[in-house]
Amino acid sequence: MNGATTSGELRAHNRVRLLRAVHDCGATRTRSQLTRDLRLARGTASVLVAGLVEDALLHEEPAPEHGRGRPTLVPGPHPRGPLALAVDVREDAWELAACELGGRATVLAVRPHDGTPEDALGSLGEAIAAERERLGHRVIGAGVALAGPVRHGGLVDIAHLSWRSVDVPHLLGLAPPAAGAAGGGGPVVVGNDTAFAAVAEARRGRLRGVRMGLHLHVDFDLGGVLVVDGRPLGGASGTGAEFGHMPLTGGERTCMCGAIGCWGMDVGANALLRHVGLAAGGGRGREQAEHVLATSEEAVAANARALGRGIAALVNAHDPEAVTLSGHGVELYERAGDILMAACEPGLMAIRREHPPRIEGSALGWRGSLLGAMESVFDAFLTPEGLDRWRANHSDQARDTPDRRNVMNSTLPGESPP
């Protein structure tokens, strides 16, 4: 039940449903397909689309291929439509993108930082403020992914950077919009990079349609989260499922988080660097870690074995249908998948071994955290209230869409274009 009791409420509900469907399918389905998927009458769908076009939310283009008769139209983002700013704050750099309805992303800026909260978040806040000013009311919010647990209110801890209770919204210095206001750049949503990557994988990747999944993101450190019905489980304070800080591989090294034997000490860029005797920690040495990953079979094998053993423990505990790996996890699986599986299988309970979950690299590679940050903004926008605020202000949005460059062409160190 949608809760609508009047014709106006039903129309508002269907406007959101239609926009959500366009967004979730990547703006690839025709109006006829969407009408059928949403079980709308053709006349109702036509009226809804016309209204959304008038409100600068949708724009229709002919389908690339169609049969005889009238061209089939595909609803997609309006050229003056809403934009979500999405940010992936890695340990040594941040990347800022503008994302349209449907998920197409344009990289706006990439900047290295020195690993301190002030340098990373101060410069990022200035960049977001500049884009808010440039794009005006088109900006509906900003999603910021960070490589550490994020408590409610935007406090983040990144152990290997020595960040403790860092107030992200404060350091970004972005004034929140006034209550009920449509301007002001929309809300700023701060979240964990692995949780955001898991959301993106559930919406646009290999966890789509999976009821119970496990997503692991490998960068300098290792993060993991359980995904249930498309949503990562965040815990009571938002910091749950810190699988990288569980003693899953029998190590005895003290982690910077304060625990002993964390799984993340044995998997990721820091582990690769330590394996060959290079300095690790502090978010430095990405290029060196990439070189180790490409040249040291021994270091890769050690990472893959530790990753496989930890996966076995989590599979025994949670019984997921699928396990997906992003970041360096994709490369580890591609280079040493047989070693990973050989380490995982003996650790599985007999009942798990009979029907093991599929394990595979993410379909999104390094893009997941950024796209998940985007999803957090559109989730807040695609509501009747969000569309009402947009409608009240859309006449002020005659701004150009940024040049469209897919986020896969990112220039962040350590990322390879397709």
Over residues 32-72, the pLDDT tens digits come to 999 999 999 999 999 999 999 999 999 999 988 755 656 68
> Does 412 have pLDDT greater than 50?
no
Distances in Å between the Cα of 180 and the Cα atoms of 295, 387, 388 are 55, 12, 10
pLDDT of residue 90 exceeding 60, the answer is yes
Res 240: pLDDT: 77
Which pLDDT band, with edges at 50, 70 and 90, does 96 fall under? very high
Q: Which CATH number fits domain 209-363: 3.90.1170.40, 3.30.420.40, 3.30.360.10, 2.60.120.620?
A: 3.30.420.40
For residues 397 and 19, the model is more confident at 19
Looking at residue 256, its pLDDT comes to 87
Q: What are the distances in angstroms from CA 304 to CA 61, 193, 197, 244?
A: 46, 21, 21, 14
Mean pLDDT of 306-325: 97
Domain residue limits, the chain: 7-77, 83-195+367-409, 209-363
DSSP states of 228-297 as a string? ETTEE---SSS---BGGGS--S---PBPTTS-BS-GGGSSSHHHHHHHTT----TT--HHHHHHHHHH-H
Please indicate whether the domains covering 7-77 and 83-195+367-409 agree at the CATH topology level.
no
- Residue 25's pLDDT band, with cuts at 50, 70 and 90, is very high
Q: How far apart are CA 336 and CA 359, in angstroms?
A: 13
Q: Look up residue 129 and give its two tokens.
A: 């403020």
Decide: helix, strand or coil at residue 316.
helix
- Per-residue exposure over 91-130, b if at least 16 CB sit within 10 Å of its own CB, e if not: bbbbbbbbbbbbbbbbbbebeebebebeebbeebbebbbe
Does position 158 have pLDDT exceeding 70, yes or no? yes
Tokens linked to 210? 């999976």
Q: Please state whether 115 falls in left (phi above 0), alpha (psi between -120 and 50) or beta.
A: left
Q: Is it the case that residue 348 has pLDDT exceeding 70?
A: yes
Amino acid occupying residue 310:
G
More confident residue, 119 or 66: 119
For the record, the structure tokens of 409 come out as: 């062409």
pLDDT in tens, 225-237: 999 999 999 888 8
| Percent of the chain surpassing pLDDT 90 | 78
Alpha-carbon separation of residue 20 from 17, 375, 395 (angstroms): 5, 11, 22
The span from the CA of 188 to the CA of 195, in Å, is: 16
| Mean pLDDT along residues 373-377 | 97
Answer whether residue 182 shows pLDDT above 80.
no
CB 118 within 8 A of CB 171: yes
pLDDT computed for residue 68 by the predictor? 61
What pLDDT shows up at residue 2? Answer: 65
pLDDT mean across residues, the chain: 89
The 10s digit of each residue's pLDDT in 194-238 is 999 999 999 999 999 999 999 999 999 999 999 999 999 988 888
Q: How far is CA 298 from CA 155, 287, 295, 368, 400, in A?
A: 38, 18, 9, 28, 50
Query: Where is average pLDDT lowest: 27-36, 88-97, 243-252?
Result: 243-252
Q: pLDDT value at position 283?
A: 87
- Please name the CATH architecture into which domain 7-77 falls: Orthogonal Bundle (1.10)
| CA separation for the pair 218, 67 (Å, rounded) | 45
Question: What pLDDT does 185 receive?
Answer: 80
Model confidence, pTM: 0.90
Distances (CA, A) of 396 to 309, 390, 391: 55, 10, 10
- Residue 152 pLDDT grade (very low, low, confident, very high; cuts 50, 70, 90): confident
The greatest distance separating any two alpha carbons of the chain, rounded to the nearest whole angstrom, comes to: 70
User: What is the chain's percent helix, strand, coil content, to nearest 5?
Assistant: 45, 20, 35
The CATH number of domain 83-195+367-409, selected from 3.30.470.20, 2.40.10.120, 3.30.420.40, 3.20.20.70:
3.30.420.40
pLDDT of residue 406: 47
Percent of the chain with pLDDT over 70: 89
What's the average model confidence in pLDDT over 407-415? 45
Cβ-contact 147, 90 below 8 angstroms: yes
Report, as an integer, the average pLDDT of 321-335. 96
> pLDDT band at residue 178, thresholds of 50, 70 and 90?
very low
In this structure, of 6-20, 64-78, 286-300, the range with the lowest mean pLDDT score is 64-78
**Token duo for residue 160:** 């290997």
Give yes or no for residue 251 having a pLDDT over 90.
no
